[in-house]
Amino acid sequence: DTAVSQTPKYLVTQMGNDKSIKCEQNLGHDTMYWYKQDSKKFLKIMFSYNNKELIINETVPNRFSPKSPDKAHLNLHINSLELGDSAVYFCASSRSRLWADTQYFGPGTRLTVL
Amino acid sequence: AQSVTQLGSHVSVSEGALVLLRCNYSSSVPPYLFWYVQYPNQGLQLLLKYTSAATLVKGINGFEAEFKKSETSFHLTKPSAHMSDAAEYFCAVSDVTGANNLFFGTGTRLTVIP
């Protein structure tokens, strides 16, 4: 069983479109995250949710909107896609928001904006 | 604010040789430190973590890291490299000012030469 899963794995789209990436975890964790990995492999936190409540919202354009329908899901919706949004997006989860809790990562979604 | 610096974006070792990947941290409080590995086209997997217990931390796949406060370092080592160790390695520090937010280094690509 996959612990943290993301769909789709690859997403190719045109500038200006709206797209969503879905994330699900079956670990029973309370906290979920979205990270962005750019072309130079640099990873940066975007959002964090704890029990469906937003707790981290880094400097991310408001075209990005996370939504957590329940504890096991954290989706990422992106409006008006731009070339610079091309990246690999990783979902992660942890048991709680405590600093020492391990984060478990999904396989990533490679977004390419043309 | 917490941050990590990984020295050397690329490291090459011969199969059977010692692996040493360097990570230095910056933190105003005792940090929680992590090493993650990313195999090609996959998500991140935790190798090991330091959470202020023993300074020598053993992880999976024969890796270990030593926390040295005097040097603000958390270098990753493995006595004998295997071909399967070829991957991207990320050092990370946990944001202790708020939620469990990880700040990642820029990564080190390990190549193992047969």
pLDDT averages per 10-residue partition of chain A, 114 residues: 89 97 96 92 89 80 92 95 96 87 92 97
Give the gap in angstroms from C-alpha B95 to the nearest C-alpha of chain A.
Answer: 7
Q: How far apart are CA A7 and CA A4, in angstroms?
A: 10
Q: How far apart are CA B47 and CA B33, in angstroms?
A: 11
Q: How far apart are CA B110 and CA A100, in angstroms?
A: 26
Looking at residue B28, its pLDDT comes to: 77
CB atoms within 10 A of CB A24: 19
H-helix or E-strand containing B73?
strand B73-78
Amino acid identity for residue A57 in this structure: N
Looking at residue A28, its pLDDT comes to: 94
- Residues in A closer than 8 angstroms to B36, CB to CB, are 105
Share the mean pLDDT of chain B. 91
Report the DSSP pairing between strands B19-26 and B73-78. Answer: antiparallel
Looking at residue A32, its pLDDT comes to: 93
- Residues in A closer than 8 angstroms to B88, CB to CB, are 41
- Residues in B closer than 8 angstroms to A48, CB to CB, are 99-101
Q: How far apart are CA A66 and CA A37, in angstroms?
A: 17
Residue ranges for chain B with pLDDT beneath 70 = 97-99
Nearest CA in chain A to B91: A43
β strands within A52-108, DSSP E: 53-57, 64-70, 73-78, 87-94, 104-105
Nearest CA in chain A to B104: A43
Q: Who's near A30: CB < 8 A, 6+ residues apart? A: A50, A51, A71, A94, A95, A96, A97
Biggest CA–CA distance in chain B, Å, is 45
